[in-house]
Structure 1
Amino acid sequence: MSVFVTVGTTSFNELIAHVFSKDILTMLEDLGYTKVTAQYGRGTDAYHFDAETGLTIESFAFKPSLQPYMNESNLIISHAGAGSCLEALTAGKKLIVVVNENLMDNHQLELAQKLYEDKHLLYCTVKDLGKTLQRLKDEEFLPFPAAQTNRFRDHLDDYFGLTMKS
């Protein structure tokens, strides 16, 4: 089982460093995960410690697409950016969103709260990541609804009378 951690195009060193802490890596290992891949964006690679772990660990700044990493993971830990959240949710994976409390006018919290209320994810702050990981096995996640890409077109067709009636 694998975990993918992403901060998108931002810098969220606090999250990356915490995921790579001995406590969190041990917890992930105890939960049955065997691999952690972290995308650290404009931040720094925080995997620099000597803790014993049985996990396979890799990290990188950017890739042309994060979708392959999301698709192969069982759990995604993400910053609360809208793009990253939606990409993870459409991949159909368990998602923990970590809100960056250092951002001014933290609109990310509102998005995370709404998606949590709809039972699509769990959210927390960096300091509460361990407690949130412990809740994973007891939480029920609902699938994120598929995009309805034709709704606007269908609405315009109806409005202009272009809809074919049978």
Structure 2
Amino acid sequence: MTQPKKTIFVTVGTTKFDELIATMLSREILEALSSKGYYEIILQIGKTSFVPDCSSRYGFVNIEYFNMTANILSYVQNADLIISHAGAGSILDALECKKNLIVVANQSLMDNHQLELAEQLYKDGYLYYCTCETLLNTIQTMNFSKLRPFVNERSKQIAKLIDQIMGFSS
């Protein structure tokens, strides 16, 4: 029996994280994800002038991107795997939608307190957490059946509070 074809949604939020987008489109990452039944990637690339190569390759029949959208949640809901920057809103959207989630830390950000949230949720067993350098190993070893389901009806308020404290929103 063949595995169902699965979709990945990659989000960098309102930031610029070209390293994650470039890493996602590398041969090693695409081959590793294809071997696990993924065949489509949708990239939300944020505030950047970087233009990703969206040619079909390494088992992926569809690779597409956009910069920003007001309807990000629909992409989250329609994906089988979310690969996200460490933004509180992006993390909590994926967890609330009960999606498999890999959070990738942007190591170029100095004093990034968002990483503390991702690290804690990783320690609590809700998601995988890595850097661009360790993403391939994370993909090769991920086992989402070992993660715990996330239950928190107050996460929207928590995300808003964290963003306010960090100065990301008013």
Tell me the TM-score range normalised by the shorter chain: 0.7 to 0.9
Structure (1 or 2) with the larger CA radius of gyration = 1
1:4 partner amino acid: F
Instruction: Specify the alignment match of 2:37 in structure 1.
Output: 32
1:25 partner amino acid: L
2:78 aligns with one of 72, 82, 95: 72
Q: CA RMSD in A?
A: 1.8
For residues 43 and 4 of structure 1, the distance between their equivalents in structure 2, rounded to whole angstroms, comes to 18
Instruction: Specify the alignment match of 1:89 in structure 2.
Output: 95
Shift of 1:46: 4.4
For residues 26 and 44 of structure 1, the distance between their equivalents in structure 2, rounded to whole angstroms, comes to 26
Q: TM-score, normalised by structure 2?
A: 0.81
Shift of 1:146: 2.9
1:113 aligns with one of 91, 114, 119: 119
117-126 or 136-145: bigger deviation: 136-145
Instruction: Specify the alignment match of 2:109 in structure 1.
Output: 103
Instruction: Specify the alignment match of 2:158 in structure 1.
Output: none
For residues 59 and 31 of structure 2, the distance between their equivalents in structure 1, rounded to whole angstroms, comes to 9
How many percent identity over aligned positions? 44
Q: Secondary structure at the match of 1:102?
A: coil
Unmatched tracts of structure 2, length 5 or more: 1-5, 156-170
Q: Secondary structure at the match of 1:145?
A: coil
1:1-166 residue pairs with structure 2 within 5 A?
1-48=6-53, 52-55=57-60, 56-137=62-143, 140-148=146-154
For residues 122 and 46 of structure 1, the distance between their equivalents in structure 2, rounded to whole angstroms, comes to 27
Q: TM-score, normalised by structure 1?
A: 0.83
Total equivalences in the alignment: 149
| 1:20-70 deviation digits (Å, cap 9, x = unpaired) | 111111111111101111100102444227673331111100111111111
| 1:103-129 deviation digits (Å, cap 9, x = unpaired) | 111212211111011111010011100
Structure 1 residues 76 and 49, CA gap change in structure 2 (3 angstroms): closer
130-139 or 102-111: bigger deviation: 130-139
Q: Is the 8 A contact 1:17 1:46 kept in 2?
A: no
Instruction: Specify the alignment match of 1:153 in structure 2.
Output: none
Unmatched tracts of structure 1, length 5 or more: 150-166
For residues 11 and 120 of structure 1, the distance between their equivalents in structure 2, rounded to whole angstroms, comes to 25
For residues 41 and 93 of structure 1, the distance between their equivalents in structure 2, rounded to whole angstroms, comes to 21
